[in-house]
Amino acid sequence: MTIKRNGHRYIDVETGKTLDVWFPRSNKEITRSCLASKVGLIEGELIEVELEINEAPKSAEDAYLRLHLLSECAVQPNAINLEGVFGLLTNVAWTSAGPVLPNKVEELRELIASENHHLTVSSIDKFPRMTDYVIPEGVRIGDADRVRMGAHLASGTTVMHEGFVNFNAGTLGSSMVEGRISQGVIVGNGSDIGGGSSTMGTLSGGGKTINSIGQNSMLGANAGVGISLGDDCIVEAGLYVTAGSKVTTPDGKVVAARELSGMNGLLFRRNSQTGAIEAIVADASKWGGLNASLHSND
């Protein structure tokens, strides 16, 4: 699929490096302004970008459009090619006066000292906050710093203050996110990622397996998974199930957890007497499901 959009980019005047690109949903040609451009550190210009979603990104401008498409929920995570995206993006100081190179922050602070503005730096990273560029419909986000550009948040999603959602990851329906959704991981409708919990992504450690959480599943507080969970699954609080974890199945066999990856209706728990990890047939209704009033985010 080929997509063409109008955008506005900021470049560093001295080096010519692309710092960011904003693609309005309306696809109108809109020029931005900020204090960093007013004092001449950066420069803005209108651009048009065309990409093929199955091909690898070719430029920072191309990469930014892909991240916008994910955060606009126009494409789902893992359905658009992001190969090499880190190498295309510049490490940027995201300031209240506009994006600048990290080594330009002190110069910016001096140049705008006479302005009625207190400079703040929200982060130094290749990815900005999603909410500075895209506001998805029907979501709540407790701390916008913890949702990266390129996150995919479906309507009905609530991200609490300690929740984190990486780029090319997110939710496909109403979900509670109090833990970490790592790069590449998607969470199905009606599922709860409990406080302090974690899902294993693919950015570090050489892992290539893309994991997911199915529908109406519960990842307990401080728990984690390195496998996929199917629908109607539960992982008890504090239990981290890696792909190589030895798990006793309902029929008494002991298998590596990867053999149970993606199966529906399982409760993973640790036997309180032996310490062994067990997978038993789950009654997902026992955790009560999502509180509907918490996910009506109109």
* CB 193 within 8 Å of CB 179: yes
* CB 257 within 8 Å of CB 244: yes
The helix (run of H) or strand (run of E) holding residue 47 is: strand 42-52
Is 154 exposed, middle or buried, given 0-12, 13-18 or 19+ CB atoms closer than 10 A?
buried
**What phi, psi does 209 have (nearest 5°)?**
-75, 125
Q: Are strands 192-193 and 176-177 parallel, antiparallel or unpaired?
A: parallel
Residue in the block written with tokens 């990409």: 51
* CB 150 within 8 Å of CB 184: no
Q: Which residues are catalytic?
A: 178
Q: Quick one: which of 205, 35, 20, 33 has its CA closest to 126?
A: 20
